[in-house]
Structure 1
Amino acid sequence: MKKQVRVRYDGAAIEAAWAEQGVSRALLDDVNAWRAQNPVAAGGRPVSPVPFVYEGRAVIEGALAALLSGEHLLLVGPKATGKNMLAANLAAVFGRPVWNVSFHVQMDAEGLLGTDTLRDGRVVFRPGPIVECAEAGGFAVLDEINMARNEALAVLHSLLDDRGMVEVPGHGVVELQPSARVIGTMNHGYAGTRELNEALASRFVVLRMPELTETALLSLLFKGCPELSENGRNTLCRLFLALTEKHAQGEISSRAVDLRGLRSAVRMMQFGVTPWQAIAMGMIDKCMEEEEREIAGDVVSLFIAKDSTVERFFL
């Protein structure tokens, strides 16, 4: 079977796709002008292309306007709404290198700003991702920002307000370059999350991400998994939306509603794994409770028989 070739989109390709979606040409021109005024320093971290193009004109225009006006952006929404995809798209379109920081309950100030370390027998400062990003004028994507303790996040306050700087012990004052932006993502539904404290929340503008629609999901499957047949895309789309509905009704957790898991299942099918097993590995078996797995499995059975073959799903 033909294996999937992963396409990656640079800023120009994303901009062209957004223009086709009807995104404001004036906003896109403003981004081009901003990028020309803020070139990336030679020899620094490269600007990374992305595997998918985010779709949603209103959301894109809101995000572009916020970043162009110098604001930091907080993307809020449930699972599978494209928060990280949008953040990566924005960085590529603005032509900025990205520092991705995945937050967790043990995150502390040193993990963000840096710490002293030994190098060649000497104590030197090893900058953390926030310091590196601030000094390079990049985009910092703080994934699930509400997972970290508020006392750890407090170090960001002076960096993200009008002061635009932070005092780092052992390193001195770090100033946020004018081209640097911070994009946070948060999901209220994950275990271990908490409310973002008011002081930090006030330093962001908030963009609420809409639920993934059938049209958007079909487009995502078409562009991200081009080897899928039309029937295969329609089947997987209906399956995913049915699992989403079960989650909305409180019958299963969000673990099975996993867009990454769906894409993983498609890739495994291309290597000969049966559709049922691929969906089970990528989605169903992420549910921890047996009863939940049974409910999710019953949903899958409505769309995919256990004896289905991969030929049904591919061109």
Structure 2
Amino acid sequence: MQKELQFLEEQDISPTLLAQVEAFRQEYPADEAALQRVNRPNIPFYGKEILEMAMAALLQGSNLLLSGAKATGKNILAENLAWIFGRPSYNISFNVNTDSSTLIGTDTFRNNQVELRKGSVYRCAEEGGFGIFDEINMAKNDAASVLHATLDHRRMIDVPGYERIDLHPATRFIGTMNYGYAGTRELNEALVSRFLVIDMPALTKENLYRIIRHDYPKIKEEALDAFGGLFLDLQEKADNSEISTKCMDLRGLLSALGAVKIGLTPWQAVQMGIINKAFDIFEREIVSDMAMTRIPEDWTRENVF
């Protein structure tokens, strides 16, 4: 197993799965032209059971759907899986403007002739990439028709108006979805049947602390308990529907710690990274009171690092 994947061995991932991943990487090396898309994630994914389920699904040729609440690590897991398998990754975010031409490509005029400017799904199919469909339950009808063809067991895309596209043997697609967000809708049975589904559990204290220590190894234990504890408090309040999920922002927490490392006071950093993301005044007061119980206003950088 390559040195960069030692975090898998540290989590005691099944040796059988690790051996099969290694064989997959050797059988399907990434094309040199696509190497710039084989990107190491900023944050490793921690969670032995989820990793093993995801790796097994991809190894046996299935596509994967990651569902769950905010801050459960869906996108982090998707990015890590592409890196683990050594594949170029293409991130496709679905919104009201995402249509078939966004995914497959569109005609463009080049060198005095009409050529197809290939979209992310087309390139992913050709290069054996991992396509990450972010917020797949926001896909509109035009884009959904491409998804049905792309994810079919026949592993080819046959969309009217385009030539037939055969999927590379290493190509996989990973969908992510937050259930109940504005603009989302139910996925129909035909689309769901094209995936194996993992329901992402809430972030545990152990894994949260691992993530924080990964980015900030010199953080003091008291500060780790304060910042990590604040996130877990917010997670519990959100689970109980006492606050929205706006402030339960792992990226915001890590960015706040980065601002503290630069020289900002911890209280100012938490205001920007967490508190001010609640635009409702009542909710902001609740989150502010929660932060105050964890992070004293007179703390300085030296209390954290």
Instruction: Give runs of aligned pairs for residues 224-303 of structure 1, distance below 5 A.
Output: 224-303=215-294
Aligned to 1:141: 132
How far did 1:168 drift?
4.4
Distance 1:197 1:151 in 2: 14
How far did 1:309 drift?
1.4
Query: Unaligned stretches of 5+ in structure 2?
Result: none
How far did 1:37 drift?
0.9
Structure 1 runs of 4+ off > 4 angstroms? 168-171
Q: In structure 1, give the amino acid aligned to 2:166.
A: E
Distance 2:23 2:230 in 1: 43
Q: In structure 1, give the amino acid aligned to 2:11.
A: Q
Contact 1:106 1:148 in 2 (8 A): no
Which one of the candidate residues 1, 13, 16 is aligned to 1:23? Answer: 13
Aligned to 1:66: 57
Which one of the candidate residues 30, 37, 42 is aligned to 2:32? Answer: 42
Distance 1:31 1:15 in 2: 11
Contact 1:115 1:128 in 2 (8 A): yes
Distance 1:61 1:267 in 2: 31
Distance 1:189 1:306 in 2: 36
After TM superposition, the score normalised by the length of structure 1 is: 0.92
Which one of the candidate residues 24, 42, 48 is aligned to 1:57? Answer: 48
Contact 2:146 2:159 in 1 (8 A): no
Instruction: Give runs of aligned pairs for residues 74-223 of structure 1, distance below 5 A.
Output: 74-168=65-159, 171-223=162-214
Distance 1:121 1:169 in 2: 25
Tell which deviates more after alignment, 155-164 or 140-149: 155-164
Contact 1:100 1:142 in 2 (8 A): yes
How far did 1:306 drift?
2.3
State the identity as a percent: 47
Q: In structure 2, give the amino acid aligned to 1:35.
A: R
Q: In structure 1, give the amino acid aligned to 2:20.
A: D
Contact 2:65 2:176 in 1 (8 A): yes
Distance 2:296 2:108 in 1: 56
Deviation digits for residues 108-134 of structure 1 (CA, Å, limit 9, x no counterpart): 111111111222443221111000100
Query: Unaligned stretches of 5+ in structure 1?
Result: 1-10
Q: How many corresponding residue pairs?
A: 304
2:187 aligns to what SS in structure 1? coil
